[in-house]
Structure formats: C-alpha cells, structure tokens
Amino acid sequence: MKQSTRFALIGGGGLGLEIAGYIHDTLQDHLESLSLWDDSLPATSPALPMLTYRGKINDIKVSADETALICIGDTETRTHMARQLESKHITLGRFIHPSAIISSQATLADGCIILPFSCISYGATLGPNTLINSHVGIGHHATVQAHSVISPHSLIAGHATIGEGVFIGSGAVITPGKTIGNHTKITAGSVVYRNAPENSFLSGNPAKNLRRGS
C-alpha cells in the first residue's frame, strides 16, 4: 500500500510526537505536510521542522488528501476521539512503519498505527483505530478489536482475542487462545493464562484480576 505524504495527527503528547518523528524519519523529503491537532500547544522539537500546530481538536479540519491518525495512548480517549471524528465525517487512515512485518493474509482496518519492528502474523485481524507499538508480536489468527492499545514488547499469541478498548502494558503476554474482555487493562510484564471478563484489571505472572480479587 502506498504511504501517504500528508498527515493530520490528533494528540500532541509524547506518543503523538513519537509517531510524528517516525513519520518524518520514514518519509523525509517525500513528506508534504505534518499537522498536529491538540487542545494545548505542544513543545515541538526543532528536529521536526514540518510539524505544524493547527489548533484545538474540536476545530479539526482534515482535507481529502490528508491521513488522519489518533496518536493518543489512553483507550477511552481514543474511543471518544474516533467517534468525534466520525461525527465530522473524517475517516481515519493508517501508518505502518516500514520495519514492521505484515502478513499478506492479515486484515487491517482504518486507523491502525503499527510502529517499528512489530509483526502481524498470518490470519491476524486488527480492528479500527488500534495502536500497535514497537516490537509487538500479534500471533496467527489473533484479533485485536477497535481502539485497543498494545504497548512495546508485548505478545498476543495465536488465536487470542483482545476486546475493544483494551490497554496492554509493555512486555505483557497473552497466551494462545485466550479472550480478553472489552475495556480491560493489563499491567506491564503480566502473563495471562486465563480468559478475562470485561473491565478487568490484570496484573502479575500468572495474571490475577485485581478488580474481583481472583
């Protein structure tokens, strides 16, 4: 898929600037514009001279030739932003870092962001507005549903299902075939051996659901 050369980024925090840097470094001389929308003026790096602050998120306007990306790590905010953009008839695009490995048999919805050295395996499915950070493995036939965020060095093993709006911390492992309910949060380094219901808070190895004391 041909990479866009014009981007509108929603979210100017650390993650937003990180993604802006990846886009800038990847496209370099081919990058035409890199716009940033946030409710406060970010402290942009002089190393990104093309990064332009355009205004508050409520005032966002995205032209037909721009790729809109939600660059926010909080899953509730990602969900809210996606609905807000949809109400303005703004369609999310995608950014896939060139070092990522994507199976030709994987399915990626609009809004996916895949950062360096991640692997999306055979038959895997990424839902709308999902963020796959660096060095993440998504196993064969695994599913990550809408608005979920997978932090660096995590592994979603084969046939696992990650629900909507799930946050998975750095270095966490979801073992094969497990289902993680919507809006669950999993702390860094946790290893999940059992299915988890919606709104769980999982931590540890083996991971326990701290919201129900199990």
Q: Which residues are catalytic?
A: 159
Which is it for strands 149-150 and 101-102: parallel, antiparallel or unpaired? Answer: unpaired
The two structure tokens encoding residue 82: 């996606």
- Identify the residue whose tokens are 């929603």: 10
Residue 5 CB-half CA count within 13 A? 6
